[in-house]
Structure 1
Amino acid sequence: MTPAFKQHFSQTFSNYRWLLHFIFWVIFIGLFYFASLKGGLFNNPKFPDPFPQVFMTTFCLVIFLQSYIFLLGVIPMHKQKKKYVFWLCLTLLFLLWFLINVSIISMVIRTIPIMNIRPELSLWPLLKNHLLVYLFTSSIFIAFYYFIDIYDRQKEILKLGQFKSEKIELESRFLKSQVNPHFLFNTLNNIYALSLKKSERTPIIIERLESLLHYMLYECKEDLVALDDEFTFTNSYISLEKLRHKEDQCTITTTIKGVTAGRKIAPLLLINFLENAFKHGTKTSFGKSWINMEIEVLKKELHFKLQNSKPEVPILQTFSEYQGGIGLKNVKRRLEILYPKRHKLTINNAPDHFEIYLILIF
């Protein structure tokens, strides 16, 4: 037995389906016996015992064996190949094969001396009634099989869809969880740099960091958060960075337009862009640097534009990591998961500045 056959066999007879098969065959034998009575098989001097019993048993066994050969062997093999025209032709050939088998078996049975069947007696009227029963029950059997098959396929599709949904949800949670250590790593690096300089701003930055971490750990558990809360978080992060940079070293401007009340957004979606801008656009070796953030909330869209300065041409190669860092890779994947076909992200790595332009559809 091949693994595919074992799987199909267990699926066919699993979950009490064997009981449905049993009921079907009980009904079939009942109909067959009724057709035998109507066709004059029993209590008929033309067909003395034991011919009626042998004929009926043989006929039922042939149908039983041929049905399950077709059900467990032929149908699954050609259904997987999706050769439906070939399968239909094969079904007709199978019915023809059945007729030939029954005819041959009937001829063999009548030649057995103990049956006492006269050679000139035709069995066709008898076979005709039973063949009608066979065609009727076979149609029900095939229809029943395909009903169960469609039901199983729908269950598999739903199960696969649920599995994909759970996989995407787990990936989304993992990506969101990555934001916390990534953000913390960058911020602690900044605090460490200030502590080496013995800056008086270090305690203030640690205090601000505590409030940011509180939001990230305790207020971002839902799939969506209030847009106002997310903007408050991003502004707090910008304020934290302003403490680290002198005004004459880095110019930071922010603009928010539109109505934000009642709008929601996936949490921690914009912070990666800001981290990237501050990490790569405000190094002291660049001289005078700048960051410009513009947000506009429309009726059904959010437009987010972030620009930051870049160093002069001689050190341009240090910016090759712009589009390959874990932060941007993370947010790109989160956008694909959380806003499929509802976002447009444009990244422009110009000679003198780096620009992010994101459109989200609510």
Structure 2
Amino acid sequence: MQVFSGQIKVVQVQWLIWVTVALLIFFSLLPGDGFAQSAVYSLINTLIYAAIIYGNISWLYPRYYEKGNYLTYLAASIALLLITGMLRGCISWAIYNAYFAPKPIPMSPKIMFNFVIAGLLVFLLSHIFRIAIAYFKLKQQTEDILLQKGQAELQLLKAQVQPHFLFNTLNNIYYEAYREAPRTAGLIERLSDIMRYFVDQSNQELVSLRTEIEFIESYIELEKIRIRNSAEIHFEKKYDPQTLIPPMLLMTFVENIFKHGIDKSGQSNQVSLSLIQSEKELRFETCNKIPYRQEDSLSLATAGSGINNLKERLHLLYGGRAELRALAEDSCYRSFLKIPLS
């Protein structure tokens, strides 16, 4: 059982709590009421207590209090206490008169009021119950994340065997090709660098700007193979090679250029990239001509999964301190990214 394996689920914790509550009520009533009456009343009281607690933490609190409707929450809470108190009183009174009373006793307003007031303490305890459930859920999520992280690291270690075999093979092919076709050997070397980046660097929290730029330049050289006519690519760089940034932040723009901004059969493909670092921020800009009859690709470039993922990632990394823009100006498509440097 998972209960005894060190990983207790939230639902299991709640079941344990309610079983404990029912037993406590049963044994507190047993000396005066006997086994049968104690068992019935412990069941009734436990069910009513559960209705009060879950009615509050699962319905009233998130539906009204968390949304700022405090008066509605107060009125609904009073209604919950009245309904559950009267229900508990009526059921207890009916069962007692039917099975356990020497002679029937009438229901009085005082008895009903006591049942309602008794539910007030349970209602107050429901807030402690809510906090406890939230704690166990958070603890369980943390354990699940750590477990997934461990499994992912194990899978990564297993997966690294094949890439390293491939790297060695590419190196052998590179040396064979270098003697006959140096340009082809250079492209093989670029491919090896890209694959090594994905395996060794992309899972790191931070990489050097030198590594990131080398990766981008290798990618550009390989993409040039797919272009029938040569592309004019100008890359302006002013940066400190040792500056650290999260990996793959700049790559989305470059990938979009070759995916949406290059006419592979056209005569003129002009692309400019600019990476300028200042003391407190890093600016990366790209500009490419819009291919003929490819204006509709702009919406794809701006709303594609790559840009959307980059926006979400920037928000997680920098909150509102990063700036991302992508727009069409005349016949050019421009992208701009600014990130703070700590």
TM-score (norm 1): 0.57
User: Are 1:292 and 2:285 an aligned pair?
Assistant: no
DSSP 3-state at the match of 1:253: strand
1:261 is matched with: 242
How far off its partner does 1:293 sit? 0.8
User: Are 1:232 and 2:225 an aligned pair?
Assistant: no
1:96 and 1:11 map into 2 onto residues whose CA distance is 30
Percentage of pairs with the same residue? 18
2:282 is matched with: 302
DSSP 3-state at the match of 1:230: helix
Counterpart of 1:351 in structure 2: which amino acid?
Answer: D
1:70 is matched with: 48
1:97 and 1:309 map into 2 onto residues whose CA distance is 74
CA RMSD of aligned residues (A): 4.8
2:67 is matched with: none
Q: 1:111–1:162: structure 2 CA closer, same or farther, 3 Å change rule?
A: closer
DSSP 3-state at the match of 1:201: helix
Q: 1:138–1:291: structure 2 CA closer, same or farther, 3 Å change rule?
A: closer
1:22 is matched with: 23
TM-score (norm 2): 0.59
Alpha carbons 2:45, 2:88 under 8 Å: kept? no
DSSP 3-state at the match of 1:318: coil
Q: 1:333–1:15: structure 2 CA closer, same or farther, 3 Å change rule?
A: farther
1:227 and 1:254 map into 2 onto residues whose CA distance is 14
How far off its partner does 1:224 sit? 3.0
Alignment of 1:1-362 (within 5 A): 14-15=15-16, 17-23=18-24, 25-26=26-27, 28-29=28-29, 63-73=41-51, 76-77=54-55, 80-82=58-60, 84=73, 85-92=75-82, 94-95=84-85, 109=101, 111=103, 141-156=122-137, 201-238=183-220, 250-265=231-246, 267-278=247-258, 281=261, 283=263, 285-311=265-291, 316-324=292-300, 329-340=304-315, 341-342=319-320, 343-362=322-341
The count of corresponding residues between Structure 1 and Structure 2 is: 278
User: 1:189-236 CA distances to partner (integer Å, 9 max, x unpaired)?
Assistant: xxxxxxxxxx97334323332223222233323243222210222234
Q: 1:357–1:100: structure 2 CA closer, same or farther, 3 Å change rule?
A: closer
1:13 and 1:250 map into 2 onto residues whose CA distance is 65
Counterpart of 1:208 in structure 2: which amino acid?
Answer: R
DSSP 3-state at the match of 2:46: helix
Give the greater-gyration-radius structure (CA).
1
Alpha carbons 1:308, 1:354 under 8 Å: kept? yes
DSSP 3-state at the match of 1:14: helix
Greater mean alpha carbon deviation, residues 210-219 or residues 68-77: 68-77
DSSP 3-state at the match of 2:23: helix
Alpha carbons 1:273, 1:328 under 8 Å: kept? no
How far off its partner does 1:323 sit? 4.2
How far off its partner does 1:264 sit? 1.8
How far off its partner does 1:261 sit? 2.5
2:131 and 2:264 map into 1 onto residues whose CA distance is 66
2:56 and 2:264 map into 1 onto residues whose CA distance is 69
How far off its partner does 1:161 sit? 8.6
2:239 and 2:307 map into 1 onto residues whose CA distance is 25
Alpha carbons 1:79, 1:87 under 8 Å: kept? no
2:257 and 2:304 map into 1 onto residues whose CA distance is 14
- Unaligned regions of 5+ residues in structure 1, if any? 1-9, 34-52, 113-123, 171-198
How far off its partner does 1:81 sit? 3.9
